[in-house]
Each structure stands twice: as structure tokens, then as C-alpha cells.
A and B are shown apart, each in its own frame.
Chain A
Amino acid sequence: MRIPRFTKVLATLFGLGWTVVAAGADAGTLWATKVRPLFDLHCVKCHGPIERKSGLELDTPEAVLKGGDEGVVVVPGNPAQSRLSQYLLAGADPHMPPKKQLSEADQAVVREWIEALAMTAPSAVAAAPAARTFGSIPEAVDTLLAEGWKARGLQPAAAVDDRLWCRRVYLDLVGRIPTSEEIDAFVALPAEGRREALVDRLLASDGYVHRMRELWDVFLMGRPKRDNHEDRRKQNGWWGFLEEAFRKNRPWNETVRDLLVARGEAPEAKGASWFLYERRNEHQAMAEAVAPLVYGTRIDCAQCHDHPLAREIKQAHYWGLVAAFNRSKNIDGGNQVAESAVGGFINFTNLRKESQPAIVTLLNGRTVAEDRPAPGAKEEDADDRYVDPKAKPRVPKFSRRAAFAEAATQDNPLLSRAFVNRMWAVCFGRGLVHPVDEMNARNVPSHPELLDWLAADFARSGHDVRRFVRGLVLSRAYGLARGTGPADAFASAMERPLTAEQLARSWRVVAGVAPDDDALRRATTAALPDVLPREYNATFQQAQFLANAPALAELLKPEGSGTVPRLASIRDRTARVQEAFRRTYGRQADADEVAAALALAEGTEAAAGASSRDLLWALMTSAEFLTMP
């Protein structure tokens, strides 16, 4: 590798060593980890999908290598001859970026990448391997993840033992930890087939129905913004709709179609209209909520211009999605969303003030054909445009919502991919595409073949939700121990914070009472609202809740017949500590933990109750309890 002379001189002057490009830092890795984020931040605004100054685009390596109006900007292996790096130097003319100066470190990244390009075989695009078949979801998951580990030289973590696996699966499928009796019963069964049996039993239970509704209520609607929102969701049948869908294991595409059409005609569709109704005629909010569901990607950035980073998302998609819903209007005083047979023909403008009509356009390439009235012509909202003009609400003969719903839920591979990625993220802590709601050209799947296979398999199965979840949790990869390897390799289990609902129920299990309690759940949800957050952020409010909440204190009263008084009655202090650990974490405490916890195991009868309460509190509010095992 040639190091430009001026760098050598500088290095000698300041007594610095020469940096040698590490052999492992290939151009592809450098691009993905360092160069692309740099270009996204400083360059792509003018040299990307929105604007192509001098005909140059810098958002993909191919585009960079292609160059612009004035020829190539990169000579692979030769930064000194590459305008891409020369223009970055202070005092260069022309200078890039025009009004900023990139730091020396950033410039070095660009040079390093240009050097590394020389070592990459030019445009060596591997031919896509023929799609393989697998006999089951676990087989696909385990085979393809293992191939990834081998390619990266990673050793997978060991499998967790049965007790821990049982705890994990209970939390994921029914949203609470198992009781000690439930674990004991599980490990007492003969090993052969007991995991499958447990999973099947849990998937058939009410706990699963509630857990899935809890997750999808947040994914589809967000946490309620005001106190009465939760009640309204319940009263208007929204929770009932979701629960029916999961209880009956309705095909996912049919569930989604019902909430897009938003008419409670069939009994299973009752309550589905709340998805649109709660958005109070804000058609853009509807479009922005629907996109991750049926495309797997948010399209918010494409409101004012084509998506600046993900080339395939255009303004037309954003406004096309708005148009699908902008004939909708809430009927006050209920939960029905009427749809007009006329109107809703809008134009949208880009930053250059160029105007275009909005046609219902989907990201999967489909459009919904419609006759557009001549400008100025007024459409008559005649009765004959409706199926039954006297019905309340009237349903138009041509319904944009229904047409969109059909196009979005029939033969739409993006719908399957979106669901698969989301549930994978729930079970593994991170999607195969990350972030989970940005499945676009910007974000490459960590395991493309696996994602393709799982999505196709999901669609082939009739969008069978239970079958898919079952397949994930029965894979070997799901049962790996916690570790800290690269997140996108899944060679060990990732850290996954529990949701408020999981916590509230699990606390009650530890306390020895029935798991479901509205008051504790609502209080916990207010303090810990996140579900699958991009970044874990323990707030001050969360700490205050854990330390002071009356609902939690109520659970830990030393009186009565729960776990606290039972602990207090154990005379031997070490045994008491061990029992507390067993009930909370399902394991033995080690010597250090026993020593620390003995401080909270008072010997005297008078103090035993209070100190047992504190011991249990400390165990229940520590990180081990607040995250998945």
C-alpha cells in the first residue's frame, strides 16, 4: 500500500506511527460501517436520490464508482488521484462539502476506503444462490444462522438449560414468568417432546392471545396518549378484534385487510375500524401507520420529497397511501369510519414546486386504477354510487380502502416480510432487518436468504401466525445463552427488556398471587411504556416508579398469605435468601449474592416481615428481573 509522501512527512514530524490498513478491513465492511454513514450525513443531500449535483450520486458504492458529469471521482487504490478525497482537503478548490470541513479522521476514512477498493475484485456480484428448501422453520433458522457463524468465525453460545428455557418461553408466549410449580412440572416430564408440548399448550392458552394483543396494540396504535384511550380501545372492540384474530389464528393477511377496510361487516371484523377511527381523520397519520404494516418500512421521509436515502420510496408512494384513506371520515359518536364515493383527488408538490396527481400507489408496484375527473368538474355524490344508500355507514361501490386493502394483503410479499421481521425482533431482540420498521434499500438484512425463506414460507402457510411463532421458539438458536457478540449474528441471545405487561404479571407471580391485575399493569405501563425500543433508556420516572409506586408496595405487604410472609417464616437466613432467589430468578444465589442479601434477612421475628419485603423488592427491581433470561 502506497502511503502518500505528505502523510509520511507529517507522520515523522509529529512522531506518529504510520497506520497500516488492517488486512481484514475490506471495502464492503468499511462502506457499511464508516463510509456510508459519513456520506449520508454530509454528502447525500446534494448527491443522492433527491438531487444529483454534477450528475454524481454518492449513496451506493456503484454510484460512487460510476462518477458524474465530469468523469470518475475515485481511482481505486489511489486516494491522491481521486477527486472524492482531494476535494475534502482544507483549501481545496472546488471544496466539498461546500460549507463544511470534514475532520481529518473523516477524511482518513474516505482514503482508507479508496485504498481498500483496490483489493476488492471489481464488481464481483455473487450470483444469487438457487433458493433452498427446508423442512421446517427451525431447520431453516438453525441452518442459515449456523452458516453465518461459520463465515464470520463465531462460536455460538451454549444452549440454556431447561429451567431457563422454560422461563424464556413462558415470557415470550404468555407474557409472564412460570411459577416454580410450573417449572418443576415441566422438567419432571420425559425430555422427549416436552418442549413441543409446552409450546403447543401455551400457544393454545388465553395468555398467548393477550400477549399478542398487547404487542400488536402497541405496534399498530402506539401507547395510549391519554388516560381514557385504553378504555375506548376496549369499549370499541379494538382489543376484542385483535384477540379474536389471535385466538382463532386468523390468517395474518386477512386480519390486516379487515383493519384497512375498517368496516365491521363480518363478525371477526368488528372493532377493526378503531385502527382508523382513533386517528381522527388524519389521513397522513393513517398512511404513516399503515406503511410499516404492509411494506415493512416507514415512509414518513417521503412526504416532501422522494426518500433521501432509500431510493425506492418516492413521494408518489407517500401521497398514494394518503389517497387510499382520504375519502374516509369518522362518524361522530361511534366507531365507524364512513367512506365517500367521490372526492379525495389531490395533488402533491415536491421541493421544486413541481405538482403531480396522487394515485393510490403501493410500494410493491401495484396501483389502483381510477378515473380522475377533469379539473374543475364537480363529481356528484349520487346514491347510485353506493351499495345501499340508506345504510349507515354507506359503502361505496368502488371503495378505495377496499381496493388498497386487496392490493396490500393479497400476494404482497412485503406484508409477509414485515410480519416475519417484526416477530423475529420480538423473539430475538433485533430484526433480521434493523431497524425493524425500516425494511428498505438502506438496510440490508443480516441473513437475506433466511428472511426470504421465512417470508415465503409464512405466505405459503396461509400467513399462519401461530405456526410461525412456534417455529421460531422451537429453533435451537432461540435457546442460546445470553452473550455479547455482534447483534446481527444471533450467535447468542440478545438483551431484551421486558415490557410493562410482562413485568406486572411476573411480579405478581413472584408475590404468589394471580398474575392479572389492571391497576398494577396500568401503573407499570405508565412508567415503562417502551415495547421493543431502539435504544434502552431507563428513565428517572422508571426509577421513581420502582422505588415508590404504591401498586408495587401493595404487592409486597408482609401480611397475608403471599410470598413475603412465607419468606419471613423461614428461620434459617441463608435458606430464606435462597428461597427468595428461587422464586424470583428460578436459580440458586451464588456466594457473593448470598453475602450481600443476608443484610436484608433479619433474624428477629419483628423485623423478618419488613426485611423479606425489602429482599424481594431488591430482587424484583434488579436488571436480571427486568430483562429476558
Chain B
Amino acid sequence: MNLNADTHGVAPGQCRVDEHRLHRRLFLKGLTGGTAAAVTSFSGLFHNPVFAAEAKRAQKRCILLWLCGAPSQFETWDPKPGRPSSGPFGSIPTRIPGVHFSSLMPRCASIADKLNLVRSMKTAQPEHFQAINLLQRGNPERAGFTRPTLGSALSHALGQLDSPIPNFVFIDPIPGGNEFETFKAGNWTGWVGAEHAPVRVGGDYSKMIGAATDALPQSDRESRERLRRFLTAKFERDRGSVAARSQNAAFERMRGMAASAELFDVNRLPAHDRERYGPGAFAQHTLMARHLVENGAPFVMVANGMCWDNHVFQHEIHQMLVPELDRVLFHLITDLEQRGLLDSTLVVAMGEFGRTPWLNPARGRDHYPNAWSLMMTGCGLKRGVLTGATDADGVDVIEKPYNEQNLFATIFTALGIDPHGEYELPGMPTFHRVEDRAEPIRDLLA
């Protein structure tokens, strides 16, 4: 399957397979026949409320909880009680028979049958920036070429052209801060193009969504925007201006965003929801992510930036961070399930590597890409599966090692996207979504 990088994977005159399935289903159900509005174009279908709801349900989505800095697998998914590598926190049984989590994760233990664990992640990058790059792009870097990050690749594969909701939302409380900051300043979209860049929310970026920084009443904004649009459209017609068309499109996207601005306002959600998830940016942002995917966002990345990087006082800090993660993940998964969304929403919770089985002199755990864990569940995956294993002390993987390529192959496959599909990039070497024909994690695929 060839993917034209310029037109979101769809050649002119061609529809994606999903769209045809929906279209046919509705025709068979006779829904389009009854409505007054003539369904002569595909976009016309969206005005039919039943179709719109149907389309929303069929849309695949992904939430990535990006635990930047890297959590310790020993204090989360792969505890080693009674071993020298164990911390002071014991382990508890979970709803998966024979599987234990850290005692810091009681809530996730109680829904473990809805989660899947990969305990045998084995990657090659021990340094933050390189590892973030590796786990965000899913393949080692090739000099001179920038592979799109997961969000941009999914925006390219899953995103809707005319949707008011951005195809890639990146929620991040701290715009600044060491290696992750450098990564954030880099090129997220690579060869799929700037239209797949993330819309950033949180921290300094919170103000931008629909905010009126010069205290302009909405009606005045509307009327001046109308004149700007009129003049730009006239310029496009009279001069054949490409720039004019591009500008009007950008403003349209912004209007779309402004129309969905309230989706980004967590305070509009019931107080009960906000209290359940808990205080703090990570919790509230995860709640926002749930709300966004409920309303059609294909990919939302929630960053919990670098706080996990505990080279100092590992146990003390994880003791605070892990229960929060436990609570947030518990509510996210159970909410998605209750809303009937878990089967179409992939949830991945991971860092860029794991942490060392041993403590350093500062009572911290250092970086450890050699054997680490992550959690992924939802769309296209089984439930309650544990795959891969580490040895008694968590020093090495003893069963089914997986790397970033296997992870990405699993993510694409789960979302119904061909992992080995080729990008069409004239004048460039051949690139696939996942290189080397790396296999997805078969144990997890439904």
C-alpha cells in the first residue's frame, strides 16, 4: 500500500476503506434515502446526525500517556519482592492470576484484566534525548532524514481533513525542562509535513486556545475576521494566490479550534470527574484527553514530563508519583470502558526506558533500557495479557524481548493501519511505517 505524503494517504477520487464500509452500511440501512439533504458528497454525510455519531464510533483513537524521564518497572508493573532489586514497596496480586504489580498500584491491580503488560521491552538508547527520539519515532535514526513521531504518523494515517478537532493534540504542563524540551523544539512531523504538527495545550500554550488577549468581544472578532477572509479570498481569486488559500485554510482550522475550545476547558466537566482523577496537571490533562477522544480527537499525547527521572531518592519520589499514575490510569480505563470507547481507543502508558535494578549512591535508580515494562490496552488488543518476562532480579529479559519497532508495529496494527506500509516520498529513499518488517507483539493482538 502506497501512501501519498501530501494528501493524507488518500489519492484524489479515492476513499479510505473505512469510509466505504460506513457509507455502504448506511445505504443498506436506508438512512440516506430518507433525509431531505441530498447526500451527493462524502462530506454531506456528516450533516446526517446518525452518520456523524456512527462515524465517531468507528473512528480509531489513541491516547499516549508519556511518562517522560522513565518510571521504574520495579515500582510499577514488574516488582521483584524479596530480591535485592526490590524497593521497600511489596507486591500485590492482581486480577490476572499469577501476576503481581507493585503495591503502589492497587487500583490498576483491580482492573488488571482490562490491561496488558509488556515486561520485556529491550531497547538500545540509555540517554534521554536519544531514547525519547527512539520511542517517539519507533525506529533508529537515519542520518539526514526525520521520521515522523507517533502522533504525526497517526495524524497522517487516521486524521480527518476537515475535522474541527486537531488530529494531534499534545498536552504538556511544562514547556521547558532539559532533554524533553530539546526534543520538543525539534521536528515532530518529519517527512509527513507540517500539517501534522501537534496542537500544543497546557503550560504557556493554554492561553492560546480561543483566548482573547486584547479583551476583544467575540462579535468584533467575527466581523474583522470576516473582512480578512473576504479580502484574502478575493486576493486568491484575482491573483491565483497560493499563499492566500493556505492562510484562509489556517484561519479556518483556528475557527474550528475555537469552536471546540470548550473541549479543552476541563472546568466544564463535572466536578465529580475532576475530583476522581485528582488534582495536579497530569491527572487533569488525562481527563481532558479522555474528553477529547470522546469528541473525536484521533491522537492525544499527555506528557508527564521528566519527574520520573529519579536518580536521587527514587523510592521517596516514586512513592508519590506511582499512586497518582495508578489512580489516573484506573479512571481513564474504566471511564473509556463505561462509555463504550475502549474497543476503539488504544491507550499506551510508557516512558523512554526503565530504571536500574540497583540503587546508586544517591539512593536513586539510573537509566535502564535493557529490560523494562510498559502497559498498552484497548482498540485491537486482547485484555488481561502479560507478555515477556525478566529474570529474578529484572536484570535481563529472559522471554520474548521486544523493541521500539515491535511496539510501533503493535500500535499500528491495533489501530487497523498496515505497519509495513511504504511512504511515498519522491526523491527520497524508501521508508516504511515500521522498518525491517518488524513483527507486532502477537500475544497482544486480538
Contact = CB atoms under 8 A, between A and B. Distances in A.
Contacts of A542: 247, 250
Contacts of A540: 166, 197, 199, 250, 253-254, 257
Contact of A40 (B143, B230, B250, B427): B427
A303 B197 contact: no
B144 A300 contact: yes
Given A37-B426, A550-B213, A623-B243, A618 B227 contact: yes
A599 B257 CA distance: 25
A29 interface: no
Nearest to A482: B239
B247 A538 contact: yes
A495 B245 CA distance: 12
B224 A614 contact: yes
B251 interface: yes
Contact of A547 (B143, B225, B427): B225
Nearest to A438: B427
B212 interface: yes
B213 A549 contact: yes
Given A304-B143, A548-B211, A600 B224 contact: yes
Contacts of B166: 540
B254 A303 contact: no
B222 to A, nearest CB: 10
Contacts, number: 124
B320 interface: no
Nearest to A498: B243
B226 interface: yes
B39 interface: no
Contacts of A549: 213
A600 B244 contact: no
B214 interface: yes
Contacts of A543: 247, 250-251, 253-254
Nearest to B247: A538
A627 B227 contact: no
Contacts of B240: 484
Nearest to B424: A41
Contacts of B38: none
A599 B427 contact: no
A20 to B, nearest CB: 24
A596 B227 contact: yes
A379 interface: no
Interface string B50-64: 000000000000000
B194 A539 contact: yes
Nearest to B181: A226
Contacts of A225: 185
A549 B211 CA distance: 10
A617 interface: yes
A55 B270 CA distance: 71
Interface in A588-629: 592-593, 596-597, 599-600, 610-611, 614-615, 617-619, 621-624, 626-627
Interface in A541-561: 542-544, 547-550, 553
Main secondary structure of the interface of A (DSSP, over half): helix
A623 B257 CA distance: 21
B223 to A, nearest CB: 6
A284 to B, nearest CB: 8
Nearest to B197: A539
A355 interface: no
A41 B227 CA distance: 44
A497 interface: yes
B436 interface: no
> Counting chain B CB atoms within 10 Å of each CB, which of A225, A303, A597, A627 scores highest?
A627
B427 A623 contact: no
B161 interface: no
Contact of B242 (A37, A495, A553, A615): A495
Interface string B80-124: 000000000000000000000000000000000000000000000
Interface in B406-438: 424, 426-427, 429-430
B129 interface: no
Contacts of A45: 429-430
Contacts of A37: 426-427
Nearest to B212: A548
Contacts of B212: 548
Nearest to A617: B224
B250 A495 contact: no
A618 B228 contact: yes
B235 interface: yes
B226 A599 contact: yes
Contact of B246 (A536, A599, A611): A536
Interface in B10-66: none
A537 interface: yes
Contacts of A544: 208, 254
Contacts of B130: none
Contacts of B211: 548
Contacts of A425: none
A539 B250 contact: yes
B145 to A, nearest CB: 9
A225 B228 CA distance: 31
A469 interface: no
28 contacts: A37-B426, A45-B430, A303-B144, A484-B239, A497-B243, A537-B194, A538-B243, A538-B246, A538-B250, A539-B197, A540-B166, A540-B254, A543-B247, A543-B251, A550-B214, A553-B214, A553-B216, A592-B234, A593-B231, A596-B226, A596-B231, A597-B227, A600-B223, A614-B224, A615-B227, A622-B232, A623-B236, A623-B243
Interface of A: 37, 40-41, 45, 225-226, 300-301, 303-304, 308-309, 482, 484, 495, 497, 536-540, 542-544, 547-550, 553, 592-593, 596-597, 599-600, 610-611, 614-615, 617-619, 621-624, 626-627
Given A600-B223, A618-B225, A623-B236, 14 more contacts: A37-B426, A40-B427, A536-B242, A539-B250, A540-B254, A550-B213, A614-B223, A618-B231, A619-B231, A621-B228, A622-B228, A622-B244, A623-B241, A623-B244
